[in-house]
Structure 1
Amino acid sequence: MNDTTKQRTALWLVLLAAAGTFALTMGVRQTMGLFLSPLNTSTGLGVASISLAFAFGQLWWGLTQPFAGAMADRIGAGRVLLAGAMLVAIGTFITPFMTTTWGLVLAIGILAAGGAGMAGPAVLMSATMRMIDPARRGLATGIVNAGGSFGQFALAPVAAALIVSTGWATAMQVMAVLVLLCLPAAWVLRGNSVHAAPAGQKPVGTGEAVRGALRHQGFLLLAAGFFVCGFHVAFLATHLPGVVAACGLSEQWGGWALAMLGLFNIVGSIGIGWAVGRWRMKSLLSLIYAARGIGVLLFLLAPKTGPVVLVFAAFMGLTFLSTVPPTAGLVAKFFGTANMATLFGMVMLTHQVGGFLGAWLGGKVFQATGSYDWVWYIDIVLAAAAALVHLPIREERPRGVARAATA
């Protein structure tokens, strides 16, 4: 086997490990909505109480990522991924035994969601970038990002079939065991920030890197844009079936709309990963956010038929999480890969804060007005603001912030 073949094999092994881990952890996490009704029937707690556990999990998933990233930069990505996968499996496995609201918050909101955060984009993207040649990082992060959508697309039917054939409790525990299939990836993705530093040099400490990032205008603008992404994504993921129902269409159209959203997200993630190596990342981000706003505006003006809903869902899928590769790429370009997990985790936290508001505000507005129109108006304004806020970003690596100190 020549050197070129070895390099290609190593590249695909890293991508398989990272994308496979994201597919399993995100796929299992995204199927939990299928268990909401059975949980309600079994526990009698009420949908509102059970939803609290799911909502807390959304926020906790984001809160864990900066800390998981800091741990990965310090002790190695492999150990953090191992712990994260185990927590997802444990939290999911014990959920059927929980009969109180706080028990569900512990199992779903803390253990499973926290574990998914530890094995989430911050750690996976940084580990991938550390191990792959810079020229291939854009496409690589697109493939890893697509792994999460593929997991949702593939595991949701599996979970639904298991619920019908074995019952919801057994189905949930089978899903917990499936997560353990990603454990070998922890060995493939092992290593920490020391391995990302050039020979004879050591990386900037975590505290210094964080302080430098918080003083960097481009990083703050990037985080602001990702906040808007979280708002948009969480609103769609949570309320798209409700939007379809409000249009007077059957539940079948809502299910197909979600499927189109996930399927075209795979296409969008890989496509934008390819584009990252060819165009300026800040320009791609501005284009994505502008496209979202235009897509929502056209949907509001269009007749609300089933085919229109599917076309809208497919278009939104193309832009759904396609912001992740260029956002991760800019963080790496600003500061290098030594503290990538920590810094990208901070950006992911702003994403989830926006996501919490998008999911919560969608329900509040619909309850108050009987329509989602005002949320769409807010989404259009935010998309326009995000498109503009990326334009002043300077893509060159700032001096002093990401420097390596001589050992």
Structure 2
Amino acid sequence: MSNLVIELKKLSSKNIVSPKGFTADGIHCGIKHKKKDLAMLVSEVPASVAGVFTTNAVHAAPIKVSKEVVYNSGKMQAIIVNSGNANACTGKQGIADAYEMQQLAAEKLGIEPYLVGVASTGVIGEIMNMAPVRTGVEKIQLGDTLENGINFAQAILTTDTVMKDTTYSTIIDGKEVIISGTAKGSGMIEPNMATMLGFITTDANIESDELQKALSEITDITFNSITVDGDTSTNDTVLVLANGLAGNEPLSPLHPDWVNFYNALKAVAEDLAKAIARDGEGATKLIEVEVDGAISDEEARKIAKTVVGSPLVKTAVFGCDANWGRIIAAVGYSGATVDPEKITIKIGNAMMVENGEPVPFSEEELIKILKGNEVKISVTLGQGEGHGFAWGCDLTYDYVQINASYRS
């Protein structure tokens, strides 16, 4: 592997259709009352595909369809997505509807159904109204403009307050390779994975098995390191399509520029994960927890996610209360190996606890830190070399209001 790593470039005014050979669109078809609710993403040629899906034992119907494409075909050329209805817990009719969505997209594009993935998000337990989907598929006007990409990003949203897009470029074999991502997710976010849909496109040339290995590794340290409310959805899906149109030699860990591709894919996934955490339902702040000195990276991430997922920590951050006792309590019940006499905790740059002993701090300084849009909590354990991050958000009055009236 080359020791030369080309610095990643984050590209503004780019989105899911920016890599070569991708088109998309999103429209309002009638599943929702007014907002866009049906979208398609298409590659010019069949693309290598990788996917990660919910760990919830209850799988929505679209998960079954997309898993078949990812694991049986190894290639995907199109994805059809709807919001407003999760098509989950809908029995045999839900399965039939998911397959019909696959068939409708395939017929529109003139491709085989086994090249089409399906994703849905919205209310659980309601049978899909397929009439607007049927007419909507015909109305979609695919294109590769910035507006087409925006339409796609808007059509996959539910309670999200903003679109979540990011794009990076890197150099592989002397050629520019672009990786773009779009996601949705705001509540019911407790990944392994979460109520989130994530779609990543790239023009890199890479086989599906290598892409799957990379995505699975990266998911553990990005999408699986966020939490909003501790609920795991029935519909979580992340799909990566790589169509090879950049013209590089096939990528693998033995390729001299593998690290460039891997870091670009990781950057896209991390940006999307943070954007989901920041946009948690009713949230006002992004919380980042960094844990160092755990006995393993896995335990570090476990502790970080426990802290950022604690309702008491989340409400303390919302209320700008420097209650470090809630943080150390979460560290203690995380199930990881800890020594209370070695724990050090910081909020921002302010030391709260050092080697298990409380440290005097300025309430005024901490209030300023906690009033920021992003709050960082650092935990050092002194147990080993393990290191990890997790991201989440504060817990607000609005979260209760949003979810108390979700179906209405």
Relative contact order: is structure 1 or structure 2 higher (C-alpha 8 Å, sep ≥ 6)? Answer: 1
The structure richer in strand per residue is: 2
TM-score, with length taken from structure 2? 0.30
The structure with the larger Rg is: 2
TM-score, with length taken from structure 1? 0.30
The structure richer in helix per residue is: 1
